[in-house]
Chain A
């Protein structure tokens, strides 16, 4: 039995050499949302999307300028709606999981209820000190 062990190891060596060092796992997806005047620097508020079937995440975010965002995400994508802006329907967006995974970012120009021009940035992933 012992004599067979080196032979077995030699046989398995090429297989072991091809092994991954990471366990892998899901592609975790985040959506970041931030708002401010054009050119201003803001922190994006981050929401993880679920990975399980039937999983739902729902968050209310307070952004700059009195703008509020409601993020409802599933593993298939995220819907972002806004309040505190003049045209909330025009500002609402849906981003699919694939879109968010591809490293997407969108700037949405809005006018706050106070009459100020603001930019909302919706981004794959999150960040601090992002220029709007």
Chain B
């Protein structure tokens, strides 16, 4: 019951914001022709993409850095929620990233396809997933350009896998944990659709890990030696109802 409280609050917040938006739109002064749209309230959605870089440690084991497990990734994320007032957005985020396995030299050698038959019998890939709750503060919500900062918390997961079709072997290692703080900032250019650059650092830690070999789970358990890491995102975002 307790777990559903933040989601309930979020739904309530979004609904009230929608109601507030209707009232606000009726009474708000109309924007100047050709000028930026008035500072909005109510529903807002944003799509973010760019590059996602791993920093810090996957676990406290010596040498187990995040970048050794995962290379940089191509992320796609959605922010969905409502602006309670023109300055404040509250909502949820969901994102995933895809990329290759990291800089570990042994794995790099393992993942090399040595023959020249133009078929990729050995492939190594990685992916990540993030979801959580967030809030953004807009400094100039009615201006053409509005800088903003944000904070979020949530759940995260990252996987890396090898598929060797020649030897009939595949293995997936997944790590799950929490994003303790997703600190973000950006600059939105506000037209009917808003857009602009953003940067974020999702600071978190893995708490559990799973290994599957040949599709069969061979380990699932807690990570004893936990550590902090961050996914640094640099990119662009597009905003509906900026």
A residues bordering B, Cβ < 8 Å?
A: 16, 19-28, 48, 50-59, 75
Give Cα A23 to B111, complex, Å. 9
Total inter-chain residue pairs, C-beta < 8 Å: 94
Q: Is B59 an interface residue (CB 8 A)?
A: yes
Residues of B within 8 A of A23 (CB): 113-115, 117, 119, 121-122, 164, 166
Of chain A, the residue at the smallest CB distance from B126 is: A52
Q: How far is the CB of A45 from chain B (nearest CB, A)?
A: 14
Give Cα A21 to B113, complex, Å. 10
Give Cα A53 to B107, complex, Å. 8
Give Cα A26 to B211, complex, Å. 17
Contact check, B104 vs A53: say whether CB atoms are below 8 A apart.
yes
Known contacts A54-B69, A56-B209, A57-B219; decide if A22 and B114 are in contact (CB<8 Å): yes
Leading 3 A-B pairs by shortest Cβ distance: A24-B114, A23-B121, A26-B110
- Report which of A19, A25, A48, A52 forms a contact with B173, defined as CB distance below 8 A: A52
Q: How far is the CB of A123 from chain B (nearest CB, A)?
A: 19
Within 8 A of A (CB), among B215-234: 218-219, 221
Within 8 A of A (CB), among B44-64: 58-59, 64
Per-residue CB contact flags for chain B residues 80-115 toward chain A (1 = under 8 Å, else 0) read 000000000000000000000110101100101111
Contact check, A51 vs B162: say whether CB atoms are below 8 A apart.
yes
Q: How far is the CB of A58 from chain B (nearest CB, A)?
A: 5
Contact check, B218 vs A58: say whether CB atoms are below 8 A apart.
yes
Interface core residue of B112, B115, B209 (most chain A CB under 10 Å): B115
- Report which of A24, A27, A48 forms a contact with B213, defined as CB distance below 8 A: A48
Contact check, A52 vs B175: say whether CB atoms are below 8 A apart.
no
Known: A25-B122, A53-B173, A54-B209. 13 other contacts (CB 8 A): A20-B114, A20-B115, A23-B113, A23-B115, A25-B166, A50-B218, A52-B107, A52-B160, A54-B69, A54-B175, A55-B171, A55-B173, A56-B209
Give Cα A58 to B221, complex, Å. 10
Contact check, A50 vs B68: say whether CB atoms are below 8 A apart.
no
